[in-house]
Amino acid sequence: MEQTQTPQDSFATADLTDLVACPVCDTLYHFPSIPSGGQGRCARCHHLLIAPRANAMTRIVMLAVTATILMITAVSFPFLTISTHGLNQQASVIDTILAYSDGLMVPLSLAMAGLIVVLPLTRLSAILYAIAPMALGHRPARGAAHAFRVAEQLKPWAMAEVFIVGVAVALVKVGGLATLTIGPAFWAFAALVVITVLKDNFMSSLIIWKTLEARGAT
C-alpha cells in the first residue's frame, strides 16, 4: 500500500492493534484508509490486500444466497441424461455419490459428498451467519467471528467448482459412445462457478475482520 510508511519506520511507534500483515510476504502495514472503489496492494509483492466496495456486505450476502440456491438446484436436479440403444439413464449428483456407496468405494463416496456438497454448503452458511446480520444493520450474531474463521479455513476445501471441470472432461470422453443431454443441474453448477468467483472477489477478508472487530463480534 503505497501511501503508508515503510514497515521499518512503523515498528517503533506502532499501535499493534491496527497492524495488518500481507498474507503472501508477511510485510506489516497500518490498516490504511482507502476510499471505496480504490485498491490497496502490498508494496513489496503486489498482492491485493483490500479493495473496499460500496455495499460490499449486502452484495456478498446476495451472492451467497444465490450460490446456496444454485447449489441445492445443482445437487437435486438431473445432471445429465445418457441415451444409448433406446435406454435412458438420468443421473443427479446424489445418484453419482450413491453409485460408489458399496464396499471399498465408500471412502470415495464420503469424500465426494463432503467436498462437493457438505463443505461448500457449510462454508456458505458460515459466511451468511457472519455477515448477514451486519449487512442488515444489526449487531453481529453470537459467534460471528468464529463462523467467519471456519469459512476462511474451508475455502481451499470447498471444491464444487472442480467437480464441473471433471465432469466436462468425462462428457467429452463419453460423448462418442452415447447421446448425452445436459440437465438443469449442469447449468446450475456452471453458474455456481461464476457466482463463487464474484463472491470471493467482493469478499475482502481483511475488511470483514475489521468490521467484525469494530462491531464487537465474538
Give contact residues for Zn ion (rule: CB under 5 A). 22, 24-25, 27, 42, 44-45, 47
Given the complex with Zn ion, which of 24 and 162 has the nearer CB atom?
A: 24
Residue 36 Cβ vs Zn ion, minimum distance, rounded to whole Å? 23
Residue with the three cell numbers 464474484: 198
Q: Residue 206 Cβ, how far from Zn ion at the closest point, in Å?
A: 12
Q: Which is nearer to Zn ion, 43 or 182 (CB)?
A: 43
Nearer to Zn ion, 44 or 142 (CB): 44
DSSP class of 58: H
Q: How far is the CB of 41 from Zn ion (least distance, A)?
A: 8
Cα–Cα separations (whole angstroms), residue 87 to 78, 152, 165, 180: 16, 45, 26, 12
For 82, the grid coordinates are 445418457
Least CB distance to Zn ion at residue 38 (A): 18
- Cell matching residue 174: 463419453
Given the complex with Zn ion, which of 47 and 138 has the nearer CB atom? 47
For the chain, strand residue ranges (E) read 19-21, 28-30, 40-41, 48-50, 78-84, 87-92, 179-182
